[in-house]
Amino acid sequence: MTWDAIVVGGGPAGSTTAALLASDGWRVLLLDRARFPRRKPCAECINPAGVAALRRLGVLDRVMEAGPARLEGWRIASDGGPSFLGRFHGGVHGIALPRETLDDILLRHARACGAEVREGLKATDLLRDGDGHVRGVVAGGEEVAAKIVVGADGLRSIVLRRLGLLARAPRLRKLALTAHVRGLGDMGGCGTMRARGRRCVGVADVGGGLANVTVVVPAEQAHEVGGHADAYFDAALRESGFVDARRVDDVLATGPFDCPVRRAVADGALLVGDAAGYYDPFTGQGIYRALRGAELAAQTIGAALRAGDTRAAALMPYERARRRAFAPGERLQRVVEAFVSRPRLLRWAAGRLDRRAQLADAVIHATGDVRPVRSLLHPALLRQLVA
Ligand SMILES: Cc1cc2nc3c(=O)[nH]c(=O)nc-3n(C[C@H](O)[C@H](O)[C@H](O)COP(=O)(O)OP(=O)(O)OC[C@H]3O[C@@H](n4cnc5c(N)ncnc54)[C@H](O)[C@@H]3O)c2cc1C
């Protein structure tokens, strides 16, 4: 049998794409090498635009029943210097919950919408015809045919690599260590990022008395982690002042994150979520982009299937929509990374933003995808920055 679409990867991008296509009546196979619920290295914060996307998908009620923490803003602390707090306003907020819960809800939703979901099934290659047009995947040693293949298989996407669309090796080389802890008490509804040199520790309440701690280690210190991720993580937590925290699960390690992609479409295939390109987790926009990217992908795939044309040219509306939606945010991420990787610059910026709450809130709204990045260029805000 030939599926209308095979979606490789059941994270937020894949499950959402599968759910939307299946709801429109397409025959969709969603496969993931993992069995759910599964953990995923992530700081587990969904920004306000991501919350809105979950609402549009029709799963927000189920997510809220799982008891996520409410995220009202972020405090960013420079190393040995000032910190600033940026808050969301006007009823806007993010949420945070463990990825094993969120991703399981999204995968079940895809199944409920009519997608055939196969867990524990790994895609290892693409099938192509004589012209190079993708005609399906090899998964679990078998050939499975489809009119279109969606690569939603994350940062180390096999679909991306087999399509030859990876632009270059990562330049920004960081390592992240993630685990859940107890004992941090009330965090006032805000996440915290504490820089120590070029290392950064992010902490956010994820509900149920748990907090997510993510330690981002720059490349030059990665050798210190060696094979001792748990011990390094515990020490980083203490050194950052979180002395009451007790880790409750194993530390997950991942990196590097910089994954530049030449384009997200090919003949018979399309990339979504991290597989379509990623840079850095500091601003916490990945889940939103996975959900929003899936919406954009499903629109284009539906039109391509209806027209019976899945060549790259027919998938270009998705490529253009992605660029319009995400390119400004990616540029902002690079600016943020330039500050985070230079402790003196971060101290200077934190000092300025600490005394200019309106500017701090504007930055948090832009990284929360609530306001466009260009809103930061408003003359009144720029005057505040240089004043
Ligand atoms: C340290 C860190 C912290 C982060 N913190 C945040 C945050 O706080 N907020 C935020 O919004 N974003 C954050 N992100 C980014 C976010 O985690 C990702 O952007 C998001 O998970 C992307 O979703 P996805 O569906 O594209 O990929 P994933 O969630 O990675 O899902 C990919 C799926 O594909 C499956 N898969 C992989 N290969 C195959 C294969 N060959 N065959 C079958 N299945 C396969 C995997 O098992 C997985 O289930 C963070 C990222 C990192 C690394």
Supply the DSSP symbol for 66.
Answer: T
Is it the case that residue 386 has pLDDT exceeding 80?
no
Q: Per residue in 373-385, pLDDT tens?
A: 988 888 887 777 7
In a domain, 22, yes or no: yes
Give the CA distances from residue 257 to residues 105, 156, 286, in Å, rounded to whole numbers and listed in that order.
Answer: 25, 9, 11
Tell whether ligand 1 has an atom less than 6 A from the beta carbon of residue 214.
Answer: yes
Query: So what's the pLDDT on residue 54?
Result: 98
Q: 386 or 110: which carries more pLDDT confidence?
A: 110
Q: Which two tokens mark 387?
A: 């004043």
Cα angle, residue 325 at apex, residues 34 and 356 outer, rounded to 5° = 105
Is it the case that residue 118 has pLDDT exceeding 90?
yes
> 326: domain CATH number?
3.50.50.60
Give the amino acid at 262: R
Tell whether ligand 1 has an atom less than 6 A from the beta carbon of residue 212.
Answer: no
Residues 197-222, mean pLDDT to the nearest whole number: 94
Of ligand 1's listed atoms, the one at least distance from the Cα of 275 is 26
Q: 150 lies in which domain range?
A: 2-43+99-170+258-335
Of ligand 1's listed atoms, the one at least distance from the Cα of 257 is 53
In a domain, 197, yes or no: no
Of ligand 1's listed atoms, the one at least distance from the Cα of 274 is 26
Is it the case that residue 387 has pLDDT exceeding 80?
no
Choose the residue to mutate in 31, 40, 126 for probing ligand 1, maximizing ligand atoms within 8 Å of C-beta: 40
Give the CA distances from residue 85 to residues 76, 149, 311, 336, 378, in Å, rounded to whole numbers and listed in that order.
Answer: 6, 43, 47, 15, 20
Residues 3-16, mean pLDDT to the nearest whole number: 98
Tell whether ligand 1 has an atom less than 6 A from the beta carbon of residue 381.
Answer: no
Is it the case that residue 2 has pLDDT exceeding 90?
yes
Choose the residue to mutate in 8, 16, 32 for probing ligand 1, maximizing ligand atoms within 8 Å of C-beta: 32
Percent of the chain with pLDDT over 70: 100
Range of 168-172, 184-188, 195-199, 308-312 with top mean pLDDT? 308-312
Per the CB < 8 A criterion, the answer to whether 336 and 216 are in contact is: no
Query: So what's the pLDDT on residue 384?
Result: 78
Q: What is the pTM of this model?
A: 0.97
Nearest CA to ligand 1 atom 15: 286
Nearest CA to ligand 1 atom 17: 42
Q: What is the spatial distance between Cα 125 and Cα 378, in angstroms, rounded to a whole number?
A: 48
Tell whether ligand 1 has an atom less than 6 A from the beta carbon of residue 53.
Answer: no
In a domain, 237, yes or no: no
Q: What is the spatial distance between Cα 121 and Cα 37, in angstroms, rounded to a whole number?
A: 15
Per the CB < 8 A criterion, the answer to whether 297 and 16 are in contact is: no
In a domain, 85, yes or no: no
Q: What is the spatial distance between Cα 370 and Cα 372, in angstroms, rounded to a whole number?
A: 7
Cα–ligand 1 centroid distance for 205 (angstroms): 20
**386 Cβ contact list (under 8 Å, min separation 6):** none
Tell whether ligand 1 has an atom less than 6 A from the beta carbon of residue 291.
Answer: no
Query: So what's the pLDDT on residue 173?
Result: 86
**Among 93-107, 203-217, 334-348, which is the least confidently predicted range?**
334-348
> Total structural domains in the chain?
1
Cα–ligand 1 centroid distance for 198 (angstroms): 24
Query: So what's the pLDDT on residue 243?
Result: 87
Tell whether ligand 1 has an atom less than 6 A from the beta carbon of residue 176.
Answer: yes
Q: Per residue in 56-68, pLDDT tens?
A: 999 999 999 999 9
Is it the case that residue 24 has pLDDT exceeding 80?
yes
Total residues found in the chain within this entry: 387
Residues 111-136, mean pLDDT to the nearest whole number: 98
Would you place residue 323 in the very low, low, confident or very high pLDDT band (cuts 50, 70, 90)?
very high
Is it the case that residue 123 has pLDDT exceeding 90?
yes
Query: So what's the pLDDT on residue 93?
Result: 97
Tell whether ligand 1 has an atom less than 6 A from the beta carbon of residue 13.
Answer: yes
Tokens 């306001």, residue? 371
Query: So what's the pLDDT on residue 229?
Result: 94
| Torsion sign (Cα): 30, 31, 32, 38 | positive
Q: Which of 130, 232, 218, 127 is nearest to 179 (CA)?
A: 232
Cα–ligand 1 centroid distance for 44 (angstroms): 10
Query: So what's the pLDDT on residue 228?
Result: 92
In a domain, 111, yes or no: yes
Is it the case that residue 240 has pLDDT exceeding 90?
no
**Among 17-31, 116-130, 248-262, 369-383, which is the least confidently predicted range?**
369-383
In a domain, 253, yes or no: no
Helical H segments across 244-310, by residue range: 286-307
Cα–ligand 1 centroid distance for 334 (angstroms): 20
Tell whether ligand 1 has an atom less than 6 A from the beta carbon of residue 31.
Answer: yes
Give the CA distances from residue 190 to residues 73, 76, 82, 254, 360, in Å, rounded to whole numbers and listed in that order.
Answer: 5, 10, 17, 25, 14
Query: So what's the pLDDT on residue 95?
Result: 98
Would you place residue 28 in the very low, low, confident or very high pLDDT band (cuts 50, 70, 90)?
very high
Query: So what's the pLDDT on residue 382?
Result: 78
Tell whether ligand 1 has an atom less than 6 A from the beta carbon of residue 11.
Answer: yes
In a domain, 58, yes or no: no
Cα–ligand 1 centroid distance for 145 (angstroms): 25
Q: Which two tokens mark 292?
A: 């929003």
Cα–ligand 1 centroid distance for 311 (angstroms): 27
| Torsion sign (Cα): 344, 350, 352, 354 | negative
In a domain, 166, yes or no: yes
Q: Which of 32, 2, 41, 4 is nearest to 249 (CA)?
A: 41
> What's the mean pLDDT when you consider all of the chain?
95
